[in-house]
């Protein structure tokens, strides 16, 4: 939702929705008292979405009647009663002064305490922006899970057991559960040992600036994934659907696919293509894990790896923390093959340039006299579009019911806004999520779906998304690198086991008796 | 080939919620997150009730997420939709998955319209959750205890009536009557009335009158 | 306030869920309401040889058809002429399992699968039925067309197997399943009656109709050459797929006197006594072979056991002859076992390649060491009211040679003598001018002329009307276990008698002395019971205590030759039983009772369940029985020299029954769904765009 302000006339309470935090922040505020003189736009852009009380239709809205308009008293649509001024709750420290409002701000200083609306706005902006970050990560994570779940449901190869990796020498072949759990634990610890060892090797190489070796290693692993695993995937897909394909077509396809992948991941390529490839190789890895790890081992590995992630990223001597800090010290980006980022520096700047260009264009479009036709259409479009829309490209205020005052912002004002926004709202140019996180999320959901019960799959999916959301909130609060696995995997595991053991019999019974709750 | 049944029932039950999601919620990231969050809380509630179903007489705790904001009805809609979609998913998804095979139900004495009934009832419950969300939160906010009682009773009635499934001739009309009733109530509570409907359908044309002065442009809107 | 609300809700939900809990709890998915599983483990599957493919396969996703139970010819006619709901799955009784019916079904194009319902108590047996050809194993036998002997056309004039339909060697485009599970058959009948049975005037019923899905998709295709080639390619890539597997199992054999490599085996000193131990049918997991395989095998085992009891006398004798008892596998499919043994003997590595440095090794044996050949082919149906009456067949071609002729004559006289002295056994010579019936002896005669005899229960054509078919079971040989019936003359006694005569004759050949030997009747009865009625009998459980329990089912043994890695339990058990019969007890504990090398003269076997643990030393061992065609480099698959039979690989065979809706209903549902989606899209879009007007939500901006 937009960061709207809702004024409830009964409670005289203004509450600001903070959906990302799922809490409620309430602020008592005074109303800004504007006189009804034209030409003095209020400090903020429009606040649409104000609630009228139930049952009152638009045309009886007092604010819209002519009578109100003639009065020069403090009024506005957003309130019905006079409210006492002053007594405003102090805004939290650190809210920037509304310098961006330009010259018109000063005239209004006397009329209302500065900063309240702005601060609410800024918080709303941050919330909305934060929520956008979250959604921009939800989508690739969901896509990866979707690919894994779709493959696991349709191709039986990835759920067939029989071959195992060297890293998991205990194959859980005994009948008792205790033995299996013990085997699983040992397997998980062996895998953890391998992961720790490789991470330490990576750190050492990074510290010693052996970039060539690291790049070579990453190249080799992407080569393996993009060619060999892709061939296996393609073969199993074809076999699962009983389609035949000759070797020539297969080689051409896989060759092109692989080379394109290598280029877009390790060199330059369109952003969307790189993202798509990263999602694909994450799904391939997840599928490999699902196939080659025995049952209990897989769950144990998930738990152990999340604990490892927690330790490695948060503890002062943790290898991943060392890696991130070293990268930040040296002001280098972390290797592209390991990280998913939904935006890029050049992309963002490019977008801002385009935005600016649009505004300038609009300003130039406004005919300065005559040309009513064009003005009509433009204004109508703008009104219909801008009224319910909050955008920093025009100040719109209501002169009266029939008259709308649209003042496009001047170019320098826009520039200032951009600069401020850039610093305030874009501290890091986008959130990055490691590929390992994608892999383990998809492993959890893929394994849950391999048992054929969709309720469990959906529950795990939601749990992981919520965990990711919480992690990003914490990221916004703490503003430093955080492990993305623990919360999501914990939720995921809890939900998996509880749903499959407790909920499923319940809902199965309900569904077969067609009882709804 | 009852992949056709799968698509039919899936679209019947999930078509309206998906269109609501796509048109209302998908554009706004915060609303999407709220949707996922309300699904999560429904799941928690379901989990608790299943724990107690497994152990002993159980109870269910619906989440009482208090929301209030300028457009809180829209947010109630979002959370209600979240509840509705996840409850619909949980009651229908496994049935849909079983539908995709070559067979249909009925060989062992079950009614032939099992699937349609399930889909239609799921749709009704999804819409009911949406409307209850709106009514419930509004009732709590305005302390309208009658509304609150209505929501609870409606929920109880709808669920209890499904206990007598597969007597579809009784359960489905009842549930749909409740849905429509709740829908109308929610509409009214959210600020609609027959006049607003007329206005919306009518779509008064607006005439813009533009005057310019000092580089400021003033547009005038006439309701014709 | 929130707490109050949730409390209230809790209370109410409490009441509600109590009601829910009162329902009976058995978590089941909707899937169980839709589908019912039908027994699907006995499917007709594909086999290939060098030139053709035989058997059945289904489509990759399974064959679906409307069930139609066929009780009479009119039902078939109804399907082809009136049935509007094609394709159909015909549920037939065994009476209709004929090539005419199946060919008609295939040609009509309205049939997508056939299910054969074999009910235990309503056995609707045809008069005689055999899936084999009129002349089994003709192409790979001694008298095949390329041998250009005067006897190659004999079989076509006087077929050995007149009941043969060749159904086993035909290729079908739809799956054929055999069902003997009573529940499944009742389900099919009941659902058919409820949903599908046409009205009394033949009026077809309307949808929804009851359908069956038969899944038995086979991976292999075309012929052996093609699928073996694909197999070699596939194994080199990541996930091997077995397109087809060569038929392969083990020959089990043992000698009475140990054959040590340090001693020289004299020429023409080994008498081979042979029987086949495999049978086959069109269907997977069922191959009773009571007369075609078990009768000869059990006779041989009983004779071996009886003879071995007198081992001390035999060892003391000065006569330098030995007896080699052999059970051949794969004989049904072109004499796989016997041709392999002959091939190995010719190459000089029978039983194993000689290792230079080992002392305790079994000696090599080749074709020159063979003195004579006695084979027990089908001997089960030779029971007469007065005893047993069997026939002795000889090969006319080799007996032209006077030396061979004399030896054969001697052998026959010996057998007849002991038959007469037993009182109730009669051995009669079959037509000396007729060729041998299908027998492993033919593989040897292709390479070397030796004297020999094939003992069967038929003079001319088979007495067995159900040769190599699903009906060749204990009823066919009229077997009733001693516990079950009080008849005086019983099957196991017949087998024991024959075994006794054989053992006596062999004793004489080995020692030069006469002795009438009686075989152990109880042992014979137990063996027959275990093979023909219940494979998980006590005896086999005791012998096979090392085998996994799930290999034991209480159905008759499956006598099919299988493939490498396939059903090996029958072979293993026969091996163990044979070892015990032809072995002596030694005092070794479990850890020491292990054979170190397969080349050793004696093998050690440990039986944990016999007398609290017995260790047995025996000469019995097993050697691979896979056709030499798969071992010869660049073998010409069309040459017809060795058997080239392979079996297709498959993932699973499955059948289920369910209800199918009409197409109109499905289309209606899809349209309803699309309508719901479009309607809701339109409505929501409308409400969204006019939200401000509908709900008075939008506020015009603040005044200036």
What ipTM was estimated for this complex? 0.83
CA pair distance B179, B124, nearest whole angstrom: 6
Give the tens place of pLDDT for each residue, A412-459: 554 444 444 444 333 345 677 888 899 999 999 999 999 888 999 999
C-beta atoms of B98 and C30 within 8 A: yes
Residues of B in contact with C206 (CB under 8 A): none
C-beta atoms of B5 and C661 within 8 A: yes
- The stretch B13-32 carries a mean pLDDT of 88
Alpha-carbon distances, residue A418 vs A388, A423, A425, A426, C485 (angstroms): 22, 9, 10, 11, 103
pLDDT of residue C83: 85
Q: In the predicted model, is pLDDT for residue A88 greater than 60? A: no
- The stretch B99-122 carries a mean pLDDT of 88
pLDDT grade for A24, boundaries at 50, 70 and 90: very low
Mutate to test the interface with C, among A398, A405, A507 (most CBs of C within 10 A): A398
Residues of C in contact with A57 (CB under 8 A): 696
- Helix axes A177-207 and A211-223, enclosed angle (nearest 10): 140
Which residue in the list A53, A183, A246, A437 is annotated as catalytic? Answer: A437
Burial class of C475 by CB neighbour count within 10 A (0 to 12, 13 to 18, 19+) = middle
- The stretch C196-208 carries a mean pLDDT of 87
pLDDT grade for A346, boundaries at 50, 70 and 90: very low
Closest-CA residue of A relative to C690 is A384
Residues of A in contact with C235 (CB under 8 A): none
Mutate to test the interface with A, among C13, C239, C703 (most CBs of A within 10 A): C703
Considering chain A, what is the average pLDDT of its residues? 67
Residues of C in contact with A456 (CB under 8 A): none
pLDDT grade for C656, boundaries at 50, 70 and 90: very high
Of A388-392, C73-77, C471-475, the range with the lowest mean pLDDT is A388-392
Q: In the predicted model, is pLDDT for residue A493 greater than 70? A: yes
pLDDT of residue B72: 62
pLDDT of residue C507: 93
pLDDT grade for C476, boundaries at 50, 70 and 90: confident
Instruction: Please state whether the peptide bond connecting residue A419 to the residue before it is cis, i.e. omega within 30 degrees of 0.
Output: no
- Give the β-pairing of C603-607 and C387-393: unpaired
Give the tens place of pLDDT for each residue, C245-288: 899 999 999 999 998 888 888 889 999 999 999 999 999 889 99
- The stretch C593-599 carries a mean pLDDT of 80
Q: In the predicted model, is pLDDT for residue C569 greater than 50? A: yes
* Inter-residue contact B154 to B124 (CB < 8 Å): no
Q: In the predicted model, is pLDDT for residue A361 greater than 90? A: no
CA pair distance C96, C239, nearest whole angstrom: 42
C-beta atoms of A380 and B206 within 8 A: yes
- The stretch C220-246 carries a mean pLDDT of 78
C-beta atoms of B66 and A19 within 8 A: no
pLDDT grade for C704, boundaries at 50, 70 and 90: low
Torsional sign, CA B148, B153, B156, B158: negative
Residues of B in contact with A127 (CB under 8 A): 30
Of A295-299, A379-383, A491-495, B27-31, the range with the lowest mean pLDDT is A379-383
Q: Is A437 tagged catalytic? A: yes
Most confident of C192-206, C220-234, C596-610: C192-206
Residues of A in contact with B71 (CB under 8 A): 1, 4, 6, 49, 51
> Who wins on pLDDT, A21 or C703?
C703
pLDDT grade for C580, boundaries at 50, 70 and 90: very high
Beta carbons within 8 Å of C302's beta carbon, 6+ residues apart: C495, C496, C499, C500, C519, C520, C523, C524, C527
> What percent of chain A shows pLDDT beyond 90?
24
pLDDT of residue B206: 52
> Tokens standing for B90?
């949980």
3-class DSSP assignment, residue C276: strand
- The stretch B111-126 carries a mean pLDDT of 90
Q: Is A59 tagged catalytic? A: no
Closest-CA residue of A relative to C31 is A512
State how far residue C686 is from chain B, nearest Cα, in angstroms.
9
* Inter-residue contact C602 to C639 (CB < 8 Å): no
- The stretch C634-638 carries a mean pLDDT of 88
pLDDT of residue A358: 46
pLDDT of residue C602: 87
Which residue in the list A8, A35, A183, A309 is annotated as catalytic? Answer: A309
- pTM of the model as a whole: 0.78
CA pair distance A123, A16, nearest whole angstrom: 9
Q: Measured between CB atoms, does A65 come within 8 Å of chain C? A: no
Long-range contacts of C82-89 (CB under 8 A, 24+ apart): C82/C198, C82/C202, C82/C204, C83/C110, C83/C204, C84/C204, C85/C204, C85/C207, C85/C209, C86/C110, C87/C63, C87/C111, C87/C112, C87/C113, C88/C112, C89/C63, C89/C64, C89/C65, C89/C113, C89/C114, C89/C115, C89/C211, C89/C212, C89/C214
Q: Measured between CB atoms, does B166 come within 8 Å of chain C? A: no
- The stretch B188-202 carries a mean pLDDT of 77
Q: Which of A15, A138, A515 sits opposite B68 (nearest CB)?
A: A15
Q: In the predicted model, is pLDDT for residue C174 greater than 80? A: yes
* Inter-residue contact C34 to B78 (CB < 8 Å): no
Q: Measured between CB atoms, does A50 come within 8 Å of chain C? A: yes
Give the tens place of pLDDT for each residue, A270-292: 888 989 999 999 999 999 999 98
Residues of B in contact with A370 (CB under 8 A): none
A:369-408 residues touching chain B, CB 8 A cutoff = 369, 372, 375-376, 379-380, 383, 399, 401-407
Between chain A and chain C, how many beta carbons pairs sit less than 8 Å apart?
Answer: 113
A:296-335 residues touching chain C, CB 8 A cutoff = none
Give the tens place of pLDDT for each residue, C671-685: 999 999 999 999 888
Q: In the predicted model, is pLDDT for residue C425 greater than 60? A: yes
Q: Measured between CB atoms, does A367 come within 8 Å of chain C? A: no
**All chains having 3 or more CB pairs closer than 8 angstroms to chain C:** A, B
> Tokens standing for A6?
């809702």
Q: Tokens 């009704």 sit at which residue? A: B124
Q: In the predicted model, is pLDDT for residue C25 greater than 70? A: no
Widest pairwise Cα distance in chain A? 89
Give the tens place of pLDDT for each residue, C539-557: 898 888 888 888 888 888 8
pLDDT of residue C657: 94
């Amino acid at each position: 939702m937009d960061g709207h302000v809702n004024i409830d006339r009964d409670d005289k309470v203004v509450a600001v929705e903070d959906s990302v935090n799922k809490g409620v922040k309430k602020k008592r505020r005074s109303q800004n008292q504007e006189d009804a003189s034209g030409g003095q736009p209020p400090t903020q852009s429009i606040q649409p979405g104000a609630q009228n009380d139930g049952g009152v239709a638009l045309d009886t809205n007092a604010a819209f009647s002519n009578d109100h308009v003639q009065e020069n008293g403090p009024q506005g649509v957003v309130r019905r009663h006079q409210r006492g001024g002053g007594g405003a709750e102090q805004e939290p420290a650190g809210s920037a002064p509304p310098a961006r409002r330009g010259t018109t701000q000063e005239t209004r200083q006397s009329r209302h305490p500065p900063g309240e609306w702005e601060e609410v706005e800024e918080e709303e902006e941050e919330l909305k922006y934060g929520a956008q970050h979250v959604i921009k990560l939800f989508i690739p994570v969901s896509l990866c899970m979707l690919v894994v779940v779709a493959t696991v449901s349709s191709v039986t190869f990835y759920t067939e057991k029989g071959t195992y990796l060297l890293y998991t020498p205990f194959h859980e072949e005994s009948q008792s559960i205790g033995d299996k759990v013990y085997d699983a634990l040992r397997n998980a610890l062996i895998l953890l040992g391998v992961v720790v060892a490789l991470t330490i090797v990576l750190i050492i190489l990074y510290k010693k600036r052996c970039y060539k070796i690291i790049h070579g290693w990453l190249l080799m692993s992407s080569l393996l994934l993009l060619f060999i695993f892709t061939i296996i995937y393609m073969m199993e897909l074809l076999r699962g659907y009983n389609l035949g394909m000759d070797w020539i077509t297969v080689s051409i396809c896989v060759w092109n696919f692989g080379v394109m992948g290598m280029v877009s991941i390790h060199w330059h390529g369109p952003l969307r293509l790189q993202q798509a490839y990263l999602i694909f190789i994450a799904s391939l890895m997840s599928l490999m894990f699902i196939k080659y790890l025995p049952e209990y081992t897989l769950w144990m590995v998930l738990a152990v790896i999340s604990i490892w992630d927690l330790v490695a990223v948060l503890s002062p001597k943790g290898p991943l923390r060392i890696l991130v800090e070293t990268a930040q010290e040296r002001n280098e980006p972390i290797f592209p093959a390991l990280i998913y980022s939904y935006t890029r520096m050049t992309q963002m700047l490019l977008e801002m340039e385009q935005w600016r260009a649009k505004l300038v264009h609009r300003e130039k479009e406004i005919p300065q006299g005559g040309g009513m036709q064009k003005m009509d259409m433009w204004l109508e479009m703008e009104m219909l579009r801008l009224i319910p829309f909050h955008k920093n490209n025009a100040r719109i205020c209501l002169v009266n019911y029939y008259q709308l005052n649209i003042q496009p912002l001047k170019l320098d004002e826009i520039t200032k806004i951009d600069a401020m926004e850039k610093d305030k709202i874009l501290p890091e140019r986008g959130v990055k999520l490691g590929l390992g996180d994608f892999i383990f999320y998809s492993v959890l959901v893929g394994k849950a779906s391999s048992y054929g019960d969709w309720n469990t799959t959906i529950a795990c999916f939601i749990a992981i998304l919520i965990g990711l959301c919480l992690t990003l909130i914490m990221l916004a609060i703490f503003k430093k690198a955080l492990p993305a696995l623990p919360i999501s995997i914990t939720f995921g595991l809890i939900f998996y086991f509880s749903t499959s053991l407790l909920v499923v019999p319940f809902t199965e019974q309900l569904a077969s008796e067609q009882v709804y709750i | 080939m009852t992949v056709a049944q799968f698509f039919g029932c899936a679209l019947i039950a999930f078509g309206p919620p998906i269109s609501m999601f796509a048109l209302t919620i998908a554009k706004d990231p915060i609303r999407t997150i709220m949707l996922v969050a309300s699904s999560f809380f429904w799941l928690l509630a379901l989990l608790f009730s299943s724990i107690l179903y497994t152990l002993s007489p159980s109870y269910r705790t619906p989440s009482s997420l208090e929301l209030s904001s300028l457009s809180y009805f829209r947010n109630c809609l979002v959370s209600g939709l979240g509840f509705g979609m996840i409850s619909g998913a949980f009651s229908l998804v496994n049935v849909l998955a079983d539908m995709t095979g070559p067979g249909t139900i009925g060989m062992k004495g079950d009614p032939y319209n099992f699937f349609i009934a399930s889909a239609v009832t799921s749709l009704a419950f999804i819409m009911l959750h949406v409307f209850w969300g709106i009514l419930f939160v509004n009732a709590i906010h305005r302390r309208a205890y009658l509304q609150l009682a209505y929501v609870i009773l409606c929920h109880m009635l709808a669920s209890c009536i499904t206990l007598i499934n597969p007597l579809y001739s009784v359960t489905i009309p009842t549930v749909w009557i409740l849905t429509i009733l709740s829908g109308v109530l929610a509409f009214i509570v959210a600020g609609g009335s027959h006049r607003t409907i007329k206005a919306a359908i009518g779509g008064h044309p607006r005439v813009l009158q533009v005057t310019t002065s000092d580089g400021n442009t003033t547009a005038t809107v006439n309701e014709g | 306030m929130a707490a109050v609300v949730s409390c209230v809700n809790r209370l109410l939900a409490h009441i509600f869920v109590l009601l829910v809990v009162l329902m009976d709890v058995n978590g089941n998915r909707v899937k169980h309401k839709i589908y019912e599983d039908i027994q699907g483990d006995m499917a007709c599957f594909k086999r290939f040889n060098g030139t053709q493919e035989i058997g059945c396969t289904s489509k990759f996703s399974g064959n679906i058809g409307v069930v139609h139970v066929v009780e009479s010819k009119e039902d078939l006619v109804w399907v082809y002429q009136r049935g509007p709901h094609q394709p159909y799955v015909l549920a037939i009784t065994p009476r209709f399992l004929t090539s005419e019916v199946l060919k008609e079904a295939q040609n009509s194009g309205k049939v997508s699968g056939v299910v054969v319902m074999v009910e235990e108590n309503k056995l609707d047996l045809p008069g005689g039925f055999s899936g084999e050809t009129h002349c089994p194993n003709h192409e790979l036998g001694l008298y095949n067309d390329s041998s250009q002997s005067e006897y190659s056309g004999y079989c076509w004039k006087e077929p050995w197997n007149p009941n043969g339909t060749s159904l086993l060697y035909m290729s079908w485009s739809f799956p054929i399943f055999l069902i003997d599970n009573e529940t499944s058959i009742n389900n099919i009948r009941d659902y058919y009656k409820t949903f599908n049975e046409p009205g009394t005037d033949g009026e077809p019923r309307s949808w929804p109709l009851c359908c069956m899905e038969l899944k038995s998709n086979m991976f292999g295709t075309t012929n052996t050459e093609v699928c073996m080639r694909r197999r070699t390619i596939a194994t080199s890539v990541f996930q091997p797929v077995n397109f087809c597997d060569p038929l392969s199992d083990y020959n089990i054999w043992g000698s009475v006197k140990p054959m040590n490599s340090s001693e020289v085996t004299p020429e023409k000193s080994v008498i081979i006594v042979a029987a086949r131990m495999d049978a086959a049918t069109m269907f997977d997991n069922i191959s009773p072979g009571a007369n075609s395989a078990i009768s000869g095998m059990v006779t041989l085992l009983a004779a071996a056991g009886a003879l071995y009891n007198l081992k001390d006398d035999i060892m003391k004798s000065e006569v330098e002859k030995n007896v080699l008892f052999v059970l051949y596998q794969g004989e049904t499919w072109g004499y796989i076992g016997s041709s392999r043994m002959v091939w190995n003997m010719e190459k000089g590595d029978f039983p194993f390649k000689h290792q230079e440095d080992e002392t305790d090794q079994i000696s090599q044996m080749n074709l020159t060491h063979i003195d004579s050949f006695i084979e027990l082919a089908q001997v089960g149906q030779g029971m007469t009211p007065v005893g047993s009456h069997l026939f002795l067949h000889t090969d006319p071609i080799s007996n032209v040679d006077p030396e061979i002729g004399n030896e054969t004559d001697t052998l026959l006289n010996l057998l007849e003598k002991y038959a007469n002295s037993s009182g109730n056994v009669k051995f009669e010579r079959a037509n000396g001018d007729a060729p041998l019936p299908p027998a492993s002896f033919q593989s040897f005669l292709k390479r070397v002329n030796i004297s020999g005899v094939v003992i069967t229960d038929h003079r001319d054509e088979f007495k067995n009307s159900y040769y190599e078919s699903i009906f060749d079971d204990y009823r066919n040989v009229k077997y009733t276990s001693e516990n079950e019936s009080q008849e005086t003359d019983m099957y196991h006694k017949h087998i024991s008698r024959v075994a006794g005569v054989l053992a006596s004759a062999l004793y004489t050949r080995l020692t030069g002395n006469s002795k009438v030997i009686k075989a152990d009747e109880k042992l014979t009865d137990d063996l027959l019971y275990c093979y023909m009625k219940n494979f998980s009998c006590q005896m086999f459980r005791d012998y096979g205590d090392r085998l996994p329990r799930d290999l034991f089912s209480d159905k008759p043994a499956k006598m099919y030759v299988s493939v490498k890695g396939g059903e090996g339990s029958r072979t293993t058990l026969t091996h163990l039983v044979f070892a015990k019969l032809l072995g002596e007890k030694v005092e070794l504990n479990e850890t020491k009772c292990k054979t170190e090398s397969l080349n050793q003269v004696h093998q050690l076997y440990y039986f944990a369940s016999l007398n609290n643990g017995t260790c047995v030393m025996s000469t019995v061992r097993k050697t691979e029985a896979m056709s030499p065609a798969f071992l010869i480099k660049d073998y010409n698959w069309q040459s017809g020299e060795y058997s080239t039979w392979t079996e297709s690989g498959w993932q699973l065979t499955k059948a289920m029954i369910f209800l199918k809706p009409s197409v109109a209903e499905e289309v209606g549902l899809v349209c309803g769904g699309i309508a719901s989606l479009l309607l809701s899209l339109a409505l929501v879009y409308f409400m969204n765009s006019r939200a401000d007007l509908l709900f008075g939500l939008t506020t015009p901006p603040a005044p200036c």
